[in-house]
Amino acid sequence: MTPSPVLLVVLQLCSLQLMAVAMPRCWLPGKVVQGAHNLLRDMGPRFPVQCLVYNANISFPDSALPSSPANRTQCRQVSWVVYESLREAGLLFEEYDLPVGEGGVNWDEQKFDNFLNLQDRLVEQDGRCLSRVNSSADLSSYFSNVTAVIQQPDSAACGWMALRRDLLWVLKSALQRHHNCFGWSHAH
């Protein structure tokens, strides 16, 4: 018995639907990103002037984020820049200790811990689908510069503060300018 054309069409529609379910759009949940931003913003003082000298070493490539509201294709890049910045920062937080005490990094421990939990969730769960995006943006030189600065005892504290300042900029710009690139469902 040959399958009827109607059945074939129905089967085809079903498989398209399955594909749509199997390949959901890769959204980062806006509320979680906003929560991470707020914790990062509230966990310490503003960027100190004595650290400005390291701007020559640490300068986030602003052009990684589109300067006007992103279209669908550009949203992938926006999501990736947020994901990759959080991922690379997470690796640094894991690998290096923050300098403490006088002249160190005195961030609110509870807020920092809560930030790290959201950061981990965004990278390990929500953002997993972004790990294979081929982005034209290059953050590797930025992060190797940050690493060089935090490896030197004299400049470590400034390196961490510059990293926090730049992460804040990334999260804030992405959320404000590219609001539509995030998922805002009530489920999150």
Ligand X SMILES: *[C@@H]1O[C@H](CO)[C@@H](O)[C@H](O)[C@H]1NC(C)=O
Interface contacts to ligand X, rule CB under 6 A: 56-59, 61, 71-74, 132, 134, 141-142, 145, 148-149, 152, 155
- Find tokens 């054309």 and name the residue: 5
The DSSP result for 110-133, as a single string, is: HHHHHHHHHHHHIIIIITGGGTT-
Work out how close the CB of 158 gets to ligand X at its nearest, in angstroms, rounded to a whole number: 9
Nearer to ligand X, 142 or 160 (CB): 142
**CB-CB contact of 129 with 82 (8 Å):** no
Nearer to ligand X, 111 or 169 (CB): 169
Work out how close the CB of 180 gets to ligand X at its nearest, in angstroms, rounded to a whole number: 13
Phi-psi region of 28 (alpha: psi -120 to 50; beta: other; left: phi over 0): beta
Nearer to ligand X, 35 or 84 (CB): 84
Work out how close the CB of 95 gets to ligand X at its nearest, in angstroms, rounded to a whole number: 17
Spell out a b/e string for 40-69, using b for 16 or more CB atoms within 10 Å of the CB, else e: beebbeebeeebeebeeebebeeebbbeee
Nearer to ligand X, 2 or 134 (CB): 134
Nearer to ligand X, 59 or 180 (CB): 59
Work out how close the CB of 57 gets to ligand X at its nearest, in angstroms, rounded to a whole number: 4
Work out how close the CB of 133 gets to ligand X at its nearest, in angstroms, rounded to a whole number: 7
Nearer to ligand X, 70 or 122 (CB): 70
User: Could you give the count of Cα atoms lying within 13 Å of 71 in the half-sphere of its Cβ?
Assistant: 1
Measured CA to CA in angstroms, residue 132 lies from 20, 103, 185 at distances of: 19, 39, 24
Q: For residue 24, what are its two tokens?
A: 């959901």
**CB-CB contact of 164 with 40 (8 Å):** yes
Work out how close the CB of 45 gets to ligand X at its nearest, in angstroms, rounded to a whole number: 22
